[in-house]
Amino acid sequence: MSTRPNLSLDGLLAELAELARISEGEPPVVTRVVFSEADLRARAYVKGLCTAAGLTVREDAIGNTFAHWQGREPELAPVGTGSHIDAIPNAGSYDGTVGVLGGLEAIRVLRQLGFTPRRSIELVIFTAEEPTRFGIGCLGSRMMASVLIPAQALALRDKEGRGLEELRAQAGFNGALESVALAGGHYYKFVELHIEQGPLLEQEGIDLGLVTAIAAPASLRIQIEGEGGHAGGKLMPGRKDALTASAELILALESAAKSTGAIDTVATVGVCEVFPGAVNSIPSRVRLETDIRDIDGARRDRVLENLKAACADVANRRGVAVATELVNADPPASCDEEILAVMEASAKEAGRSYKRMVSRAYHDSLFVARIAPVAMLFIPCRGGVSHRPDEYASPKWVGAGVHVLARTLARLAS
Ligand code: GLV
Ligand code: MN
Ligand code: MN
């Protein structure tokens, strides 16, 4: 493809802004939890755009959505691209959506140029990349790759105790969950465009990140049961305060992550629910949700083991009961050298600067990597800010990402 793609950047930016307005929060807050009313409206909006672009849309039993552009040799495995449109509470407008609407724009550009792909090109909108509702990330791609099997999926509950089966049926997804799994080799290659969610590209003034590996995420849920009581009447000796016990665990996790000495080890306690949650009542129960990641899976596992050891130690010393549940501990993924080479050639051709880098955030590509060669294309985001309403990627950055994605898809599908 020698012609410069005829990007409709204004149109794409307007679509991103429109999608951001479909939210459970007041703008600029984007909240779109899977199977919520906002998620369903957002799906309808994006599906409408795909159909208008001439793509054939299909949905699977968990709501993964596939917008297909048939190639000249439809029997060949397609080239895939895509990301997610669900958003955590209080999120911004670019996480996931750039890969979906940017992927669609890349396809529209190629169609407008009269390009006819040899392999089909398929845009995928994955269900529930975010763990907000069911506590586990990448639900759709995890099931697609058979990392989460239907029996495990059926056991998932949200905070209100509503099961996956009930919620997906209410959202209009009814088929057999077994049919979500795709066979190895289903995609010839898969490329996901995404914002970096870190500061490096912007700081270094580089247009694009070519992602070589995706870090290994793990999540451990911890429930601490102590003894409640009157905050005035119960004296300090002999207390079994579940929150002070939790405080030790939170700090133990922080120091375990720091002690690896590796910049790539990160750990977070993002959920701390205190029961009964009254100022004059000693906390009797606390629920923590932890998130631990590293590009090195074995090093990540050592942090996890340190946390479990701290749980046993705190239970012992403080006389509280500590129960743990491993939600997930996924291995890292390596990206495909051939796609990286194609992205590199495409970036050069497009006159964009680039560097190779790792992704510390997880993405659906982490799971697609189990069934197809993957790579990711990162664009900068202002200040490295993500998962916040002020998340921002400039039109120039978005345009560069879509431009190079279009060239990459064209080369891979030729
Ligand atoms: C994805 O949203 C992540 O938390 O990395
Ligand atoms: Mn996210
Ligand atoms: Mn994302």
pLDDT at 387: 97
Whole-Å CA distances, 267 to 203, 214, 271, 298, 306: 23, 16, 12, 15, 12
- Confirm or reject: Cβ of 361 under 6 Å from ligand 1: yes
Contact 354, 210 (CB under 8 A): yes
- Confirm or reject: Cβ of 130 under 6 Å from ligand 1: yes
pLDDT at 8: 87
Question: What is the distance in A from the centroid of ligand 2 to the CA of 95?
Answer: 6
Terminal Cα distance for the chain, rounded: 10
pLDDT at 3: 47
Whole-Å CA distances, 153 to 130, 156, 333: 15, 5, 22
- Nearest atom in ligand 1 to the alpha carbon of residue 360 is 5
Strand pairing of 121-126 and 79-84? parallel
Q: What pTM was estimated for this model as a whole?
A: 0.93
Q: Which of 295, 360, 387 to mutate to test the pocket of ligand 1 (most atoms within 8 A of CB)?
A: 387
Alpha-carbon gap, residue 378 to 397, rounded angstroms: 9
Whole-Å CA distances, 322 to 190, 240, 355: 42, 12, 44
Alpha-carbon gap, residue 201 to 45, rounded angstroms: 31
pLDDT at 244: 98
Alpha-carbon gap, residue 290 to 331, rounded angstroms: 17
Alpha-carbon gap, residue 409 to 389, rounded angstroms: 30
pLDDT at 2: 45
Total residue count of the chain as it appears in this document: 414
- Confirm or reject: Cβ of 330 under 6 Å from ligand 1: no
Question: What is the distance in A from the centroid of ligand 3 to the CA of 96?
Answer: 4
- Span 54-75, pLDDT tens digits: 999 999 999 999 999 999 999 9
> pLDDT tens track of the chain, all 414 residues?
544 557 789 999 999 999 999 999 999 999 999 999 999 999 999 999 999 999 999 999 999 999 999 999 999 999 999 999 999 999 999 999 999 999 999 999 999 999 999 999 999 999 999 999 999 999 999 999 999 999 999 999 999 999 999 999 999 999 999 999 999 999 999 999 999 999 999 999 999 999 999 999 999 999 999 999 999 999 999 999 999 999 999 999 999 999 999 999 999 999 999 999 999 999 999 999 999 999 999 999 999 999 999 999 999 999 999 999 999 999 999 999 999 999 999 999 999 999 999 999 999 999 999 999 999 999 999 999 999 999 999 999 999 999 999 999 999 999
Contact 86, 32 (CB under 8 A): yes
Q: Which of 133, 362, 367 to mutate to test the pocket of ligand 1 (most atoms within 8 A of CB)?
A: 362
